[in-house]
Amino acid sequence: MKKILLTATAFLMLFSCQNDQTESTTLPANAIARRSCASQDVLAAQMKADPTLALRMNEIEAFTQKAMLTNRLVNGKVQIPVVVNVLYRTTSENISLTQIQSQIDVLNKDYNAGNSDFNSVPSLFSGVKANVGISFVLDQVIRKSTTYTSWGTSDAMKKTTYGGIAPTSPTTKLNLWVCTIGGGILGYAQFPGGSSSTDGVAIDSKYIGTTGTATYPYNLGRTATHEIGHWMNLRHIWGDANCGSDLVSDTPTHNDANYGVPAYPHYSTCSGTPVEMTMNYMDYTDDRGMYMFSNGQKSRMAALFVSGGSRASFGI
């Protein structure tokens, strides 16, 4: 069925181009329009001369479609399978599948310009606000009970020797660990380039998803959006220094992290005194205060997934 459709598509393309060719030879068509279909004109002539060309082109097309599926490209975009590792002592730490899925849903909105607050981005930044185009699909949930009251940030939750859960297929799946971290830490990520045995993101069970134990003002799933930004190589927007650099040119230089929900416009005192992009996911505001990535951040993330990129095993 697919082959028939592809063949039909090839013949439709051939037909439409032949049409153009006919027009261009009978009418004094404008040069730009003719040039735009020149390669199609040549192809049409070659197909007429060699009937096996269409067959070979169909094979190439079928291969391309298959490669897009097996490489997890959906409409030319990256799709990331997510394994959620839940470590619980109390029943409330053993969060529900509904809460887990609510987090996946937030990621799919935030990374695809589908969040309802995306249109709240000030017009000053409307030219750089991004549809990142990376999607997430829940692959599996692994649950394990523990006697630990908190896990800290030393990666113990990722190690069976400490009673944690080792990552599942970390070179092809994003592993999330959901547990009590403690110390006021909402979550933390491993940047690209680290060991695959600890690759992924840890999120405190009180700050994941939008339902169940999700706790205000971090109850909109933006901790995972922010941490997965790090996992995809994004730095904090203030560059982790006073007027530091996040290595992204279309984000303004910030003095420092912003908290709460800053009033707009909030001016930086750094060089040029730009209005800060406090609504960026890579700042530290409350969940309802963050609702955009920039195009420059999108480019950094996309670069990981192309051939030779450090997360190429995930995508394109």
CA-closest candidate to residue 121, choices 129, 110, 131, 113: 129
Pick from 99, 135, 213, 251 the residue near Ca ion by CB under 5 A: 251
Of 164, 167, 170, 187, the one binding ligand ARG by CB under 6 A = 187
Would you state the structure tokens that stand for residue 35, as one six-digit string?
Answer: 């040039």
Q: Segment near ligand ARG (CB under 6 A), from 98-106, 166-174, 184-192, 267-275?
A: 184-192
Residue nearest to Ca ion (CB): 251
- Using CB under 6 A as the binding criterion, the count of chain residues that bind ligand ARG stands at 13
What is the residue whose two structure tokens read 């944690």? 164
Looking at residue 152, what DSSP letter applies? Answer: T
Looking at residue 275, the DSSP 8-state letter turns out to be B
Q: Are 192 and 311 in contact (CB under 8 A)?
A: yes
Q: Minimum CB separation from Ca ion for residue 248, in Å? A: 5
Of 83 and 189, nearer to ligand ARG (C-beta) is 189
Q: State the virtual CA torsion across 31, 36, 40, 42 in degrees, nearest 10.
A: 50
Cα gap 140→101, rounded to integer Å: 11
Q: Which is nearer to ligand ARG, 218 or 293 (CB)?
A: 218
> Of 226, 254, 300, 311, which lies in the binding site for ligand ARG, with binding defined by CB under 6 A?
226
Which residue in the set 223, 251, 258, 278 belongs to the binding site for ligand ARG (CB under 6 A)? 223
Kindly tell me which residue out of 10, 176, 248, 304 binds Ca ion, with binding defined by CB under 5 A. Answer: 248
Q: Which does 246 bind (CB under 5 to 8 A by kind): ligand ARG, Ca ion, none?
A: Ca ion
Give me 66's structure tokens: 């298959």
Tell me whether the omega of the peptide bond preceding residue 265 falls within 30 degrees of 0, making it cis. Answer: yes
CB 305 within 8 A of CB 312: yes
Query: Which residues 6+ apart lie within 8 Å of 306 measured at CB?
Result: 312, 316
| Cβ atoms of 187 and 203 closer than 8 Å | yes
300 in contact with ligand ARG (CB under 6 A)? no
227 is known as an active-site residue: yes
**Pick the catalytic residue: 23, 59, 227, 276?**
227
Among 287, 291, 297, 298, binds ligand ARG (CB under 6 A): 287
Radius of gyration over every alpha carbon of the chain, rounded to an integer in angstroms: 25
164 binds, among Ca ion, ligand ARG, none (CB under 5 to 8 A by kind): none
Residues at the contact surface with ligand ARG, assessed by CB under 6 A: 185-188, 218, 222-223, 226, 284-287, 290
Q: Which residues bind Ca ion (CB under 5 A)?
A: 246, 248, 251
User: What residues act catalytically?
Assistant: 227
